[in-house]
Structure 1
Amino acid sequence: MKSNKKLVMLSAAVVAASLLTVACSDSAKQGDTPQGAQGTEAPLNLSIAIAQVGDIPAKGNAVEQAIEKYTNAKLDIQWIPSAAYNDKVNVMLASNEMPKLLKVNQTPGVVNAIESQLFWEIGPLLKQYKNMSAQNEQFFQNISVEGKIYGVPLYRNMGRGAIVYRKDWLDQLGLTIPKSIDGWYNVLRALALNDPDKNGKNDTYGIVLNKTYNQGAASMLTRLSVAMGGVNKWGVDKDGAFTPEFMTKEFTDVLKLFRRLYEEKLINQDFAVLDATEAEKLFDTSRVGIRLAVATNGKSQQDRLSKTTPSAVVDVASFEGPQGIRISSENGNNGFLVIPKSSVKTEAELKRVLGFLDKLMDPDMSTLLLRGLEGTHFANTGDKRTEFIGDGFNMFQREVKPYRDNLPVLEGYNVAPLKDVPIGEKGTKMESDGIKYIVSNPALTLTSATFSERGQELEQQINDAQTKFIMGKIDETAYQDEIAKWKKAGGDKIMAEYKESYMKLKKK
């Protein structure tokens, strides 16, 4: 019997060796990346600095062990509180003492470090990695510096923008989601004046603005003007000349729409001082019919409304105009991971680090980071979906989310859909599909010394002018005068510097 056992063990060893040979052969085809638990290389010792999200996970927890086993790595994670993160990164950059992977945002300090060649350029290597090379090129272009790629983005869907609305109200009034400026006026007017909640009171709005209505990626003016055929923050013509959105017809039409709504008291008169959270409460209490938000907001909106108005029906729709669906693109990342040359000294080690990041997007790892551990956080359903079980979702938030938020995964890629209520599934699919309709900001990664020095001040000047225009404190002539002041104060320089940066990249 002992001899038979030895024979069985020897046979098993031979089979295992054969499998390892195949695995190593496959590895060579993917930029010398290790093949998880099957790899023959010693584990990759990998130090990482990332932002702390919630409580710090216990060292050696089940999620971390699963990552280490699959990727053939030994992780040394430095969790840095989010509030102090950028300051800590600046200290690391100044001392050039960094871990092998560092999460950064595209701040002037980080761009300066990239231009100083502190990090490996990885763009030419990406095609060797099946998962990273499968992602939309725009993800990487959005973190590029002078047209080159120095990091792996923490992917986020770029086409999330959507209209969240009270379907029951629109149906009752015989309305549909508008696709033109006139259509928007008519729908918003009807929602404000035609008593959609049937309480006999004039207490509803079609839409409300808050004090950040024209700021950042969530700018309501940008989202609507892009839907109408406009540009996303900046437009560029065939000669490389740049034009800010507020100098375009589509944007001006949207601005005039809100001026008319304000003048006729069809939107809230206190928008210039109203917090975003207070504006959301108005929707939650059946005071508002439409929000310009993101597609997955539909589910949470329905949940909150159901507590105050059980009969409410919320739905989501894409931004659409004369040219079809058009969504103003978001940046597409929650920062990105760079690989410092001071810590990773050879190209061979660089490729192993990239291999680690690529394997995090394999089906097993995508499922782990987006759903958790099977049987603990989630279960597979009979229709090729997944669902959280028991207290699995809350456990996921504590035990898995800190990794998910700091490592490269993307909802909808290499993971089974999450079973949800219909509006939840619809919103998730819309956010994944939205990338087909995005309108990108052509100036996102261009360089402008004037914008770096005075961009915020100049943006605030224009934002204030837009608010005054909507409120009727200045007329169209005075508004154009404000744009002329913007140009003279530095806007003309920004446009010229963007053109110079753009044309320089085109020649490469």
Structure 2
Amino acid sequence: MKKKLLATLLSASMVLGVVACGSNTQTTGTDSTASTQTADNAGADTASDAPVEYPPVTFMAIDFNSGASNTGDYAEQVMQQLEEHTGVDVEIQWVQSDVLEEKATLAMQDPKSMPMIMTWNGAVTGTVVTAAKQGAFVDLTEYLKDSTKYPNLSQQNPGVAESLTVDGKQIGIYRARVLGRYGLSYRQDWADALGLAEPKTIDDVYNMLYQFTYGDPDGNGKNDTIGLEMTSYTGPFDIMQTWFGCGNGWAEKDGKLIPVWQQDEYLEALNWFKKCYEEGLMPSDWASRTTDTWSDGCKNGENGVYIDVLDGGRRIWDYFVNNEIPSVTDPSQFASMNLLSNINGKTMATSGYNGYFTLSASTCDTPEKIEAALTLLDKMCDEEMLILTNYGLEGVTYEINENGNVVRLDASDDALKANYNGLNQLVAYIPGTESELTEEKTERQIKEADVKADAEKYAVLNPALPYLINSATYASQGKDLDDKISQARTQYICGEINEDELKAAWQDVLDRGYQQIIDEVNAQVK
């Protein structure tokens, strides 16, 4: 960009000016010790007041916009604001989500050309662990303790950060997500029509599912409703298991960490799911319904209970309002959803993150380059950058109304949104996920935020996350073995295998490597 050349020329002229005025010098290092400086005149500017000139940063980021991220007439202006705020010139290498891991793996085969910052989807994989053990990534442990240089990143959640620690070294910066995001949402107008109170216990939930299936909640006199929304996505089972006292993936028992399928409560939960399936309280073909239909059942009036992320329940509610779906109890009002943070005082916690950034040791090979990369990531979490990456340019893609809230000018203009779309993939969202400047919140959004905040009090964390990442057997076999456990659960719920066959499947998984995983996890705990 032309502005980069201009910035270089300006930097050069500033250096010459400083030399002429008093020979002030500044050096930077990996620690937070300031700089060495001399001045001929007592009143001369100190070197610490001069802006630090960082080397450019290359950044592999996810493109969810089919090649249209940061494109358009104002794209360069948006990028200029980003670079001016962070003080770092950045070259983004956009990669489609479905080929991200493939591209990242290929990049690691040529270390000297690896992007300085690399984005990874989801949680840490065996590929990343292996690369980390071979020294592919910068150890960020000490850097991220520096609250002076990195005021945002230094506020990371220690428990979540542990999930990105390999052999005692933090190898990534997580992209934060709300811990209390999972819960139960249900058709409030259906419940009102049937005289059902807000469910608090598992029995309450069962009664709601039964009544939503057989009590004609929509009042049309037809047997055309089913209580629980389900597809082949089995996340709802993971959430509901916690209501019975199961852990989140793993649990502590007698001072030892075990996978939840070794808990007595796990089989109790599966028997409840099996009962719900046999009684028709969930779709009979749920296991073959594709995940892209997830939430359609509630939207089209087939189902009344949705168990997943609370924002999913709120989006169903949005659908009712935006499409003017009438309430079954009062047609002058719209249908609505109620969102609940817990059942039996439990819900499943998220991992606290979704995706993460690593710094490549081969290309972040000097203290200055490491500092440039971390400064970029830290400043991208500033309020100004949260606004820029979420709303774009004031007066172009949004304006602020008399109440101090954002009004989008690009709500129905995808080409205008493209100017800043995708740049949120450069944000770690530490310490917070939202800017103070927001759109005016609807009743539904306020409800969602309140329930998510409440859910954090009940969210069951996975105690094994920090240890699984360092289990060599889990890195190589964990996903396949977990898939076998999930498959056996589905088969049992659907009546394809009996209890003895279910337990035989668990034993087979133990013999194939899961016992070794359990041993490796608990060796670390000790």
TM-score of the two chains, using structure 2 as the length reference:
0.81
Match for residue 41 of structure 1 among 21, 35, 52: 52
- Compared CA separation, residues 461 and 343, structure 1 to 2 (3 A): closer
In the alignment, the residues of structure 2 paired with residue 344 and residue 102 of structure 1 have an alpha-carbon distance, to the nearest angstrom, of 11
Q: Secondary structure at the match of 1:61?
A: helix
Contact 1:181 1:254 in 2 (8 A): no
Q: Report what 2:171 is aligned to.
A: 150
Q: Report what 1:221 is aligned to.
A: 237
- Compared CA separation, residues 143 and 361, structure 1 to 2 (3 A): same
Q: Verify: 1:492 aligned to 2:492, yes or no.
A: no
- Compared CA separation, residues 489 and 179, structure 1 to 2 (3 A): farther
Q: Report what 1:211 is aligned to.
A: 232
State the Cα RMSD in Å.
Answer: 3.1
Q: State the AA in 2 paired with 1:192.
A: T
Q: Report what 1:192 is aligned to.
A: 213
Q: Report what 2:138 is aligned to.
A: 120
Q: State the shift of 1:181 in Å.
A: 2.3
Task: Write the deviation string for residues 220-251 of structure 1: whole angstroms up to 9, x where unpaired.
Answer: 12111223432000113463x22211222333
Q: Report what 1:473 is aligned to.
A: 496
Match for residue 233 of structure 1 among 245, 249, 256: 249
Q: State the shift of 1:168 in Å.
A: 0.7
Give the 5 Å matches for 1:10-89.
31=32, 40-54=51-65, 55-58=68-71, 61-89=76-104
* Greater Cα shift, 204-213 or 242-251: 242-251
Q: Verify: 1:409 aligned to 2:429, yes or no.
A: yes
Match for residue 336 of structure 2 among 292, 295, 314: 314
In the alignment, the residues of structure 1 paired with residue 86 and residue 34 of structure 2 have an alpha-carbon distance, to the nearest angstrom, of 9
Q: State the AA in 1 paired with 2:523.
A: E
In the alignment, the residues of structure 2 paired with residue 437 and residue 78 of structure 1 have an alpha-carbon distance, to the nearest angstrom, of 40
In the alignment, the residues of structure 2 paired with residue 135 and residue 438 of structure 1 have an alpha-carbon distance, to the nearest angstrom, of 19
Task: Write the deviation string for residues 317-341 of structure 1: whole angstroms up to 9, x where unpaired.
Answer: 234233x3x3322233332222222
Q: State the AA in 1 paired with 2:102.
A: D
Q: State the shift of 1:289 in Å.
A: 0.6
Q: Verify: 1:166 aligned to 2:166, yes or no.
A: no
Match for residue 398 of structure 2 among 369, 375, 378: 378
Q: Verify: 1:459 aligned to 2:482, yes or no.
A: yes
Match for residue 93 of structure 1 among 97, 105, 108: 108
- Compared CA separation, residues 45 and 390, structure 1 to 2 (3 A): closer
Q: Report what 1:5 is aligned to.
A: none
Q: State the AA in 2 paired with 1:226.
A: T
Task: Write the deviation string for residues 360-395 of structure 1: whole angstroms up to 9, x where unpaired.
Answer: 112212221223222222333444443323537746
Q: Report what 1:368 is aligned to.
A: 388
Q: Verify: 1:350 aligned to 2:370, yes or no.
A: yes
Match for residue 334 of structure 1 among 338, 343, 354: 354
Q: State the shift of 1:431 in Å.
A: 4.1
In the alignment, the residues of structure 1 paired with residue 435 and residue 87 of structure 2 have an alpha-carbon distance, to the nearest angstrom, of 20
Contact 2:100 2:120 in 1 (8 A): no
Unaligned stretches of 5+ residues in structure 1: 1-12, 18-23, 214-218, 504-508
In the alignment, the residues of structure 2 paired with residue 229 and residue 350 of structure 1 have an alpha-carbon distance, to the nearest angstrom, of 44
Q: Report what 1:4 is aligned to.
A: none
TM-score of the two chains, using structure 1 as the length reference:
0.83
Contact 2:313 2:339 in 1 (8 A): no
Q: State the shift of 1:207 in Å.
A: 0.3
In the alignment, the residues of structure 2 paired with residue 157 and residue 146 of structure 1 have an alpha-carbon distance, to the nearest angstrom, of 27
- Compared CA separation, residues 347 and 93, structure 1 to 2 (3 A): same
Q: Secondary structure at the match of 2:56?
A: strand
Fraction of identical pairs, as percent: 25
Q: Which has the higher helix share?
A: 1
Contact 2:183 2:455 in 1 (8 A): no
* Greater Cα shift, 302-311 or 179-188: 302-311
Q: State the shift of 1:167 in Å.
A: 0.8
In the alignment, the residues of structure 2 paired with residue 133 and residue 437 of structure 1 have an alpha-carbon distance, to the nearest angstrom, of 26
Contact 1:242 1:496 in 2 (8 A): no
In the alignment, the residues of structure 2 paired with residue 429 and residue 238 of structure 1 have an alpha-carbon distance, to the nearest angstrom, of 35
In the alignment, the residues of structure 1 paired with residue 370 and residue 412 of structure 2 have an alpha-carbon distance, to the nearest angstrom, of 36
* Greater Cα shift, 380-389 or 267-276: 380-389
Q: Report what 1:21 is aligned to.
A: none
Contact 1:369 1:409 in 2 (8 A): no
Q: Report what 1:3 is aligned to.
A: none
In the alignment, the residues of structure 2 paired with residue 43 and residue 124 of structure 1 have an alpha-carbon distance, to the nearest angstrom, of 20
In the alignment, the residues of structure 2 paired with residue 169 and residue 68 of structure 1 have an alpha-carbon distance, to the nearest angstrom, of 51
Q: State the AA in 2 paired with 1:331.
A: S
Contact 1:298 1:314 in 2 (8 A): no
Q: State the AA in 1 paired with 2:62.
A: A
Contact 1:203 1:287 in 2 (8 A): yes
Q: Report what 2:270 is aligned to.
A: 255
Contact 1:206 1:266 in 2 (8 A): yes
Q: Secondary structure at the match of 1:399?
A: coil
In the alignment, the residues of structure 1 paired with residue 336 and residue 217 of structure 2 have an alpha-carbon distance, to the nearest angstrom, of 14
Q: State the shift of 1:195 in Å.
A: 0.7
- Compared CA separation, residues 184 and 474, structure 1 to 2 (3 A): same
Match for residue 359 of structure 1 among 372, 379, 385: 379
Q: Verify: 1:449 aligned to 2:472, yes or no.
A: yes
Q: State the shift of 1:151 in Å.
A: 1.9
Q: State the AA in 1 paired with 2:98.
A: A
- Compared CA separation, residues 456 and 152, structure 1 to 2 (3 A): closer
Contact 1:44 1:72 in 2 (8 A): no
- Compared CA separation, residues 331 and 204, structure 1 to 2 (3 A): same
In the alignment, the residues of structure 2 paired with residue 261 and residue 409 of structure 1 have an alpha-carbon distance, to the nearest angstrom, of 39
- Compared CA separation, residues 423 and 328, structure 1 to 2 (3 A): same
Q: State the shift of 1:481 in Å.
A: 3.1
In the alignment, the residues of structure 1 paired with residue 50 and residue 413 of structure 2 have an alpha-carbon distance, to the nearest angstrom, of 33
* Greater Cα shift, 79-88 or 408-417: 408-417
Contact 1:179 1:228 in 2 (8 A): no
Q: Report what 1:102 is aligned to.
A: 118
